[in-house]
Amino acid sequence: MSFPRSLRIRGLRKRWLVSAALPVVLLVLAAVTVFTVASARYYYDSARSGLEARARVAADTFTGYGVRSYSEYYRLASYSVETFEEKDVLELQFINVNGRVQASSYGLTAGTSPGTSDVERAVGGELASFRGRDPQTGENILSVSCPLLFNTRVRGVLRYVTSLRAVEHQIFVSFLAAAGLALAAVALVLISNALFINSVVEPVAVVSDAARRISGGSYGIRVDNHYRDELGELVDNINDMSLKISQAEQIQQEFISSVSHELRTPLTAINGWAETLEVDPVGDPEQTRRGLAIIGKESRRLTTMVEELLDFTKIQDGRFTLRVGVVDLVSELEDAIYTYRELFRQEGIEVSYAPPEGDVPPVAADGERMKQVFANVLDNASKHGGAGKRIDVSARAEGGALVIRVRDYGPGIPPEELPFVKQKFYKGSSKARGSGIGLAVCDEIVRLHGGAFDVANADGGGTGAVVTIVLPLSATGEGEAG
């Protein structure tokens, strides 16, 4: 069975985007941000450290000339800026203690005041740097100012100024590289996860549609299973559920049909004989007795069927309980045998009974329910194994339990039907009359007593079926008294 590819479960994708993809994207963005900030700091710090080292060396060299007058100082500063070889990337300035430029390798800034914090601090005798917007040009710059000391007094400031355009370009390139890698990583994660979530969503959508169709009454449909993981297990479970619901629906329909037939048959017999006796109430006495016997027998059948249906309903609703008391289970079994022996003899079926050796102590149990089990098993043996004209019943104490076996000598149960004979509504290939829930009720009663109820074919290659009932002699029952 196939389903259209348009089936989607949007909730799973939304949940995946929120719980899986979004954290990955946020984490990558955070990583790119941290990397960019760290790169910027590294480039800025490297540029500042380089300028500081260079300014310190240049200032030491300048003061090492032993300048004795202002004119010598100015002449040496002018010569230094004129012969400065890195004018394309750096500006060399000499600033007086009033913060004004005396000489500059650019020449255009002489006489102006830079107005940056590094100059002010250098005039105070401290090596200082500044990074930011130049008050004069508005360009982002990096400047380092180093005091020029003569006889331990600051006579001027040597200042290097460079544009941050190259550094910012390098930072931007690093950011683009990191962003590219991040985008590639995010794309790879999103694509791989999208493929994964699609591999989950598609099958789940198919299974969801199958479940919807099953709930709508399309029992028995199957989903093609192409998976070998948890999805495969889910598909197998859905297919198994669909099959079991289909089987249950079929069994239920067969049960309704069977019960309708089973109810109609005795009712027809009762109505027919009732009308016959009503028309001729003083007719042939033998015919009258026969009619009354049939009416009684069919009435008992109806009563049994109704009681089974009521018991089964209580089992389904969880209202099935026991009236526990001290009971002699052997006596209950013998009462059931006595009740059915004469009825079976009339049908040509002989019942043999082997009682237990020694006394079997009374136990806590529901006597009426256990008698119902024994009667149902005997009646079932007569219906399905009556062709053998013989039923063997035995009871014996084995390993702290009372073991009761009821064997008939009929055709037995087909091996393929054995696993299902205790299931509700199941009648298999048997043509015998009945609702198909008697054994299910018996199994539940014995289970509530803490025992075991088993149906099998006879050993030794013979014909017939054997019902084995195992009841613990110390059982107290799981039901409630009342």
What pLDDT score does 282 carry? 64
Burial 274-302 (b: 16+ CB within 10 A, else e): eeebeeeeeeeeeebeebeeebeebeebb
What pLDDT score does 477 carry? 46
Q: Find out whether 407 and 395 touch, Cβ atoms under 8 Å.
A: no
Number of residues assigned to the chain: 482
What pLDDT score does 202 carry? 73
Q: How many whole angstroms from its chain centre is CA 481?
A: 41
User: pLDDT digits over 143-186, tens only?
Assistant: 999 999 887 788 889 999 999 888 889 989 999 999 999 999 88
Q: Are residues 140 and 60 in the same domain?
A: yes
Q: Are residues 248 and 386 in the same domain?
A: no
Q: Cα-flanking dihedrals φ and ψ of residue 185, to 5°? A: -65, -45
Q: Are residues 266 and 325 in the same domain?
A: no
Spatial distance between the Cα atoms of 432 and 412, rounded to a whole number of angstroms: 13
Spatial distance between the Cα atoms of 61 and 40, rounded to a whole number of angstroms: 32
Q: Are residues 41 and 164 in the same domain?
A: yes
pTM over 0.75: no
CATH number for the domain that contains residue 329: 3.30.565.10
Mean pLDDT over residues 198-214, rounded?
75
Q: Are residues 383 and 279 in the same domain?
A: no
Q: Is residue 479 part of a domain?
A: no
- Identify which of 357, 370, 291 has the alpha carbon closest to the alpha carbon of residue 328: 370
What pLDDT score does 296 carry? 79
- Identify which of 275, 203, 215 has the alpha carbon closest to the alpha carbon of residue 242: 215
AA identity, residue 20: A
Residue 204 CB-density burial (10 A; 0-12 exposed, 13-18 middle, 19+ buried): middle
Q: Is residue 333 part of a domain?
A: yes
Domain boundary among 277, 300, 315: 315
Q: Is residue 9 part of a domain?
A: no
pLDDT band of 334, cuts 50, 70, 90: very high
Spatial distance between the Cα atoms of 349 and 410, rounded to a whole number of angstroms: 11
pLDDT band of 7, cuts 50, 70, 90: very low
Q: Is residue 295 part of a domain?
A: yes
Residue 121 domain boundaries: 15-169
Strand, helix or coil for residue 133: strand
Q: Is residue 6 part of a domain?
A: no
What pLDDT score does 34 carry? 92
Structure tokens given for 209 = 């549609």
Q: Is residue 143 part of a domain?
A: yes
Per DSSP, helices labelled H in 318-419 are 329-346, 367-385
Q: Are residues 39 and 138 in the same domain?
A: yes
Q: What is the DSSP letter of 216?
A: T
- Identify which of 177, 175, 171, 179 has the alpha carbon closest to the alpha carbon of residue 28: 179
Domain boundary among 148, 169, 190: 169
AA identity, residue 299: S
Domain boundary among 141, 169, 197: 169
Q: Are residues 328 and 302 in the same domain?
A: no
What is each CA distance from 283 to 62, 204, 271, in whole angstroms? 153, 74, 17
Q: What is the DSSP letter of 419?
A: G
User: pLDDT digits over 398-442, tens only?
Assistant: 888 999 999 998 888 888 888 878 776 666 666 555 556 778 888
AA identity, residue 58: A
Residue 253 CB-density burial (10 A; 0-12 exposed, 13-18 middle, 19+ buried): exposed
Counted domains in the chain: 3
Q: Which residues have a Cβ under 8 Å from the Cβ of 91 and sit 6 or more positions away?
A: 104, 105, 106, 109, 160, 161, 162
Poorest-pLDDT segment among 228-232, 322-326, 378-382: 228-232
Q: Is residue 221 part of a domain?
A: no
Query: DSSP secondary structure string, 69-136?
Result: SHHHHHHHHHHHHHT-S-TTT-EEEEE-TTS-EEEESSSTTTT-----HHHHHHHTT--EEEEEE-TT
Poorest-pLDDT segment among 8-22, 129-143, 358-372, 388-402: 8-22
Q: Is residue 90 part of a domain?
A: yes
User: pLDDT digits over 290-326, tens only?
Assistant: 778 778 777 877 777 777 677 767 766 667 778 889 9
Q: Which residues have a Cβ under 8 Å from the Cβ of 359 and sit 6 or more positions away?
A: none
Q: Are residues 330 and 367 in the same domain?
A: yes
Q: Are residues 328 and 417 in the same domain?
A: yes
Q: Are residues 425 and 328 in the same domain?
A: yes
CATH number for the domain that contains residue 270: 1.10.287.130
Spatial distance between the Cα atoms of 477 and 469, rounded to a whole number of angstroms: 15
Q: Are residues 307 and 325 in the same domain?
A: no
Burial 48-80 (b: 16+ CB within 10 A, else e): beebbebbeebbeebbeeebeeeeebbeebeeb
Q: Which helix (H) or strand (E) segment is 351 a member of?
A: strand 350-354
Q: Are residues 288 and 308 in the same domain?
A: yes
User: pLDDT digits over 115-144, tens only?
Assistant: 889 999 999 889 999 999 988 788 899 999
Spatial distance between the Cα atoms of 35 and 24, rounded to a whole number of angstroms: 16
Mean pLDDT, the chain, integer: 81
CATH number for the domain that contains residue 155: 3.30.450.20
Poorest-pLDDT segment among 201-215, 345-359, 462-476: 201-215
